[in-house]
Structure formats: structure tokens, C-alpha cells
Amino acid sequence: MHRFKYLALALAGWLAVAQAQASALEQFKSFVSSTKAARGEFSQRQVKSSTGEAAKVSSAASGTFLFARPGKFIWTYSKPYEQVLQADGEQLFIFDKDLNQVTVKKLGDALGSSPAAILFGSNDLEKNFTLSEAGSKDGLEWLKAVPKARDTSFELITIGLRNGLPEAMELKDSFGQTSVLAFRKIEKNPPLTATTFKFVMPKGADVFNN
């Protein structure tokens, strides 16, 4: 009995090491194929740099996220102000709690080449992004994703993975600004209900349709 226990522990350890040593592309494809939904916490900061100037870092924002593929998510900012971005697969709702204002947009094809598609879109990422290895940094294996569409506002997206989970994402736009996100407490495939992503309009909210 003890022999099988030690064998199981050794096998688990070997699998953990193998996964940790897997390339970023292998880890990410495994994450995408095995993860229909996930939730966790995030922090986000903006880094803006101009030629000849020192980089300027904004104060950090933070919150929680929940997603289910394809195209359903709730991205909630709790700091520095409360805002919710919620998509039900067809529409995107942006709720600013302080203003009690909701902006409604069609999700449509815009999700396909956006950073949100990396986490929330379909499994066919290589249809919209050119994926390649980006080396090791800060204990993470990094993946580079370049949007194939020319009309996207992002030039480059990089994702840092460890033990089969994304822990960081950097989004570089055409204006020299980079959004840096860190993910923690990720739970894969949590239980969801049919109404989890149904947006409930706040009472008295001003609604704008775009």
C-alpha cells in the first residue's frame, strides 16, 4: 500500500515538473483546451513611455473576473473605482457604478482580435493571432500573440505562464502604452448556472446603446 502511495506521489511530482518545464505555447494550448470557464483575481497598471522620457506608471487597479467560453465574462473593477464589464455572448454591458450609467455594445466580431479573446474567446486563437514563444522572464514562460487584424488597437500581447496557468499579461498599444495585468487565485471550471452571465440592469441607470 505504501509502495503505491509513494509511486503516486513520485508520479505527481514528475508531472508537475514536466508541466513547469513545458513551453509557454504548450502550457497555453493545454490551458485553453482544458478550461471552459474560470474565475480569479487580477491587478492592472498602465505603463506609458515616450521617446527620451522615463516610463510613467499609473496606480494599480484591481478586481475579480469570471469567464466562460465563448464570449461570456464578468470583469469587475473594485479599485480605484467600481466598474463592471459583462458580456453574455451577444452583448457587452459596461456599468459605471458611481455614475449609475450603463453602455451597451454588440459583442460581435470585435471580440475576435481583442485581448479579451485570449481568455474569453473561442479555442481557435490562431485564427486571429500569430502565436510564438517569447522566452523566460520572472520565473514565467512567455507567449507572444500578434493580432492578424490590422484595425486592432493592440500591436502586441504577451502572456506569462507557470504550472499550466496564466499569471501575467502585457498589452502594448500603438500609442506606446502598455497595460500590465497579474492574475491570482485562478479556479478552473467552477460551477455556473444558466443565468450567471445575464446582466441585470441597475434601477434608475442611464442607458446608452452603441
Residue pair 173/155 in contact (Cβ under 8 Å)? The answer is yes
CATH number for the domain including 105?
2.50.20.10
- How many domains would you assign to the chain? 1
Residue 50: predicted pLDDT = 56
With H, G, I as helix, E, B as strand and everything else as coil, classify residue 127. Answer: helix
* 40 inside domain: yes
pLDDT reported for residue 125? 75
186 domain residue, yes or no: yes
Written as one letter, the residue type at 170 is E
The two beta strands, 56-57 and 206-209, are: unpaired
Contact 175, 167 (CB under 8 A): no
**Confidence (pLDDT) at 183:** 94
Specify the pLDDT at position 163.
93
- From CA 91, how far away is CA 195, in angstroms rounded? 14
Host domain of residue 135: 22-209
- pLDDT tens across the length of the chain (210 residues): 444 443 344 334 434 444 445 899 999 989 988 999 999 999 999 887 655 555 666 678 999 999 998 889 999 999 889 999 999 999 999 999 999 999 999 887 556 556 676 777 766 778 888 999 999 999 999 999 988 877 677 888 999 999 999 999 999 988 888 999 999 999 999 999 999 999 999 999 999 998
Coil vs helix vs strand at 31:
helix
Are 119 and 108 in contact by the 8 Å Cβ rule? The answer is: no
Within a domain: residue 11? no
73: in domain:
yes
State how far the Cα of 89 lies from the Cα of 120, in Å rounded to an integer: 10
Q: Does residue 16 form part of some domain?
A: no
168 within some domain: yes
Element (H, E) at 177: strand 177-188
**Would 13 be classed as within a structural domain?**
no
3-state secondary structure 130-168: EEEEEEEECCEEEEEEEECCCCCCEEEEEEEEECCEEEE
Domain assignment present for residue 14? The answer is no
Cis omega (within 30 of 0) on the bond before 147? no
